[in-house]
Structure 1
Amino acid sequence: MKKKLNRRNKLAGWLIGAVCMMMLGGCGKKQDGTTEAVTTAEPAVVATNADAAQEPDLPMDADGYYITNDYVKTLGETINVRVAASTDADIYKLLPGGEILNRVGYNEEWTKVMVDGSTFYVYSEYVIQTEPPAGTLPDTTEEETPTDTATKSDAEKVKKIVMLDPANQAVVNAEQVEIGPNTDVTKQGASTGNVGTTLGTKESELNLTYANLLKTELESRGYQVLMTRDTDEINLSNKDRALLANDSEATVYVRIQMNFSENSSLTGVMGVCMTPDSEFNSDLYNDSYRLATRLIQGVLDNTACTNQGIYETDQMTAINWSEKPVALIKLGYLSNEEEESKLIDQDYQKEIVQGLADGLDAYYGY
């Protein structure tokens, strides 16, 4: 009898163990059968956006995402980066644990991150807020700005002289020019830009419209404003434009452009600057990143547009040749029907321009 009981106990123990193994085998999988992450690298996954339930004091975009511009680190072994906020959406790529990404929005379930210059989505459970990468200047609030900034004498303040560069032009500059000093790598001098997919809006003309409006607004605030062009009928390479800024008294160089993507659902404002390791002008990175951040924040504060974050690259000729703090601001996507309509609306243009001017005020500390 005792041997039978022992055999029964062993059998029961084996069955319980098998059930436990089956239950554990399902961990990490969503109900639809897809696996968003394998989290063996972290004993406990901390949801970045658990605070979403506490309604953080952040603006929210039209899609229900809190707007932010900070950094998150991926958890686990690998996570899926998807083209849309759905486990049914295509996977753009897999990222290993420990990757640091620029977060531009989040809700309780999904987080918007910048990957390869575009916005993608990762499951919020598998990222956690972290410090910016080394060499990155984080955005600061007005409370963190030195209190003596507003009380500096005029002699101590940086002169508010801005070079505005409406990107593109009516004619192609086919000349091959070096993308930066001391390199043999070349690119086409300048392009005509994109054309809106719905209304046929010409980017070169729209860039100039915004630059002229911003010039008027800045001058009303006491700025001195210079322009690389005041007509669409001009033939300047992007290198020539940067050299104009270098040879001027401008203290910042701001390029204005639209955006375009094969993904017609993308919308929002994006900033572009060099990388912190640029072989051309890395010494300008901190000020350029701060300039781009301030300009984007100004636009976000005055509109309901999406934050596409900061794209850092060393492939932009005008940025590489600049000897002044420089930022390229892409104001919206001509590839999106709704955004193209907004970008040519005069009331929306005023909001954008107000935001850009506010951003420059914040950059200069006024």
Structure 2
Amino acid sequence: MNQSFARQTLRQRLRPWFEGFDVPLVGAIALLCACGLLAMYSAGFDHGTRFVDHARNMLLAGLILFMVAQVPPQRLMALAVPLYTFGVLLLVATALFGVTKKGATRWLNVGVVIQPSEILKIATPLMLAWWFQRREGRAHVRHFVIAGVLLLLPFALIAKQPDLGTAILVLSAGFFVIFFAGLSWRLIVPVAAIGAIGVIALVLAGPTLCEPGVDWVVLHDYQKNRVCTLLDPSKDPLGKGFHILQGMIAIGSGGVTGKGFMKGTQTHLEFIPERTTDFIFAAYAEEFGLIGALVLLAGFSFLILRGLAISFAAPSVFSRLLGGAITMSFFTYAMVNMGMVSGILPVVGVPLPFVSYGGTAMVMLGLSLGILMSISRSRGLMQR
């Protein structure tokens, strides 16, 4: 056995570690990483070590992707209940003993300061996928109700911190699991209709509702201000509306072909706030224009389509639901980030995957892609 192993080439020894890796998915990841590195080099070259740190975070995410891809989905399923329970307990502990910064209690000091809500981005869809796997072929209304409770519990705890951006991401990831599990359109359509009516009513009544002293009851003052700023950012162009207006100016000034790499005036004259994190898409669009934005959108679109193809061909209910939810989470991230930078959605602090700076976000990205690759590998190995 040892002599046989010794006669193997390095390629033969490494081959089992990479068997089943989805090459088209790797291609989409490489394209998005390239766009992210270009954007970060330009936007963050005078931000100390932002570019180097971003590249390091990408390498770390790649290592996490590779390691998680070696773990079969069945073993990931065994982590669902303990990880979800642990995450919820940390959220409760954060509410009771958390660290408060700028009016938000989102962090917990356990020797090091952590943000427990990040765990729920993976733990929630993992738990719900496990829940429906256990009820394969016999899911009833009560099972969907319980799934809703499992989803709303972390959502409510995170929204109360308050951290509406992360709460929306957790809610969307969990909702996609429930949707793919067979949630009836008869329940979805009325809720969607009510939401559309609410948005129209908000737009029409915005001038009245946004008057000083009007209490929205269900939202904090800063959340009300974000919605009102979205409806009319020009009302306070040097204050609350500054972020949105500068983002829109940068994107519009890029035109079709952009101003050129490292030539973005809005970016380098520091008119764009948070240009290496939440608003990096504005800096990217200014320099690479509509064509660059379409390349980025094409990369995300292909990543999402490929992820859905991998998920729908998965061998188990758990893998299909988890893979589908993780894939659609990329859609949520990209849509919310680009929407808020473009002035279509309120600013909620959601990073753009592969592009925005952030160590924790990149680690979660590597973990999510690793799970997708694990699902792809499990399908390929079963077909052998």
TM-score bracket for the superposition, by shorter chain length: under 0.3
Relative to total residues, which structure has the larger helix share, 1 or 2? Answer: 2
Please tell me whether Structure 1 or Structure 2 has the larger radius of gyration of its CA atoms.
1
What TM-score does the superposition give when structure 2 sets the normalisation length? 0.22
Question: Which is bigger in relative contact order (C-alpha 8 A, separation at least 6)?
Answer: 2
Relative to total residues, which structure has the larger strand share, 1 or 2? Answer: 1
